[in-house]
Amino acid sequence: MAGSPRRRLSMEDFRPTTLDEVVGQPVAVARLRRILAGARNGTVVPPHLLLHGPPGTGKTAAARAFGREALGENYEANFSELKAFDDRDHASLQRIVVASRSPPPGGAPFRIIFFDELEALSPDALNDLRPAMEGEGGWSVFVLACNELGGLARALQSRCTVLEFTPVAPDDLRRIVTLALARTPFRLDAETIDSIVERAKGIPREAIKLLLEEGGSRTVAG
């Protein structure tokens, strides 16, 4: 009788799910934790957040982790994510503006609306966001992520707490690779790990891609 097939690994298997798992961004994570503390003890609604930095440095993972920890059991019903390929025209954003001003479902203290790849929005669409970010009632927190701040109006930036994500230091990147490797059946020597760290150039996503490439091309133990 043939054994059941081994589950295939993908990039999603290594995406951080908590702020503790976001390695190499100590300043941004520390500020997110301070904001979480106020949200958890009920003293504040978190400010709107703007996460910026090179692709693959952990912005999306941090946004989702922040949402999980801020909303707890209300996460599934009150965390909305809009990607670059989603419908984000004027009419869609107007609907978001209107919805953002209503109380969140399930008795949650607020909802989180996450816009990934903000630079994909047109200038008119970006202008549509401003009324939502000034909405009455404090029901919605906008978390925005982009690679570059240059194309964003200062008026939009001023409505947010701005957090920078930078390329990760080699020691932190080596830790990311080592932790990920422990969750695979792969066996890689120290020289290969060093090569992955060097080639990834501070980008965790690239490091995981290289880990899967190196590990997947070799004989799997067991």
Q: How confident is the model at residue 134 (pLDDT cuts 50, 70, 90)?
A: confident
**42 in Cβ contact with 72 (< 8 Å):** no
Integer Cα distance of 127 and 123 in angstroms: 6
Tell me, what's the pLDDT at 154? 86
DSSP 8-class letter at 167: P
User: What type of residue sits at position 180?
Assistant: A
Tell me, what's the pLDDT at 222? 47
Convert the pLDDT of each residue in 28-84 to its tens digit. 999 999 999 998 888 888 999 999 999 999 999 999 999 999 999 999 999 998 875
Integer Cα distance of 65 and 17 in angstroms: 5
More confident residue, 123 or 75: 75
Convert the pLDDT of each residue in 4-35 to its tens digit. 456 789 899 999 999 999 999 999 999 999 99
Convert the pLDDT of each residue in 141-181 to its tens digit. 999 999 999 878 888 898 899 999 999 999 999 999 999 99
Integer Cα distance of 173 and 137 in angstroms: 41
Q: What is each CA distance from 121 to 109, 117, 126, in whole angstroms?
A: 28, 8, 6
- Among residues 182, 180, 163, the alpha carbon closest in space to that of 172 is found at 180
Angle between helices 26-40 and 59-71 (to 10 degrees): 20
Integer Cα distance of 31 and 41 in angstroms: 16
Angle between helices 170-181 and 204-216 (to 10 degrees): 40
First-to-last C-alpha distance (Å) of the chain: 18
> Does the pTM of the predicted model rise above 0.75?
yes
Helices (H), 41-189: 59-71, 75-78, 90-100, 123-133, 154-157, 170-181
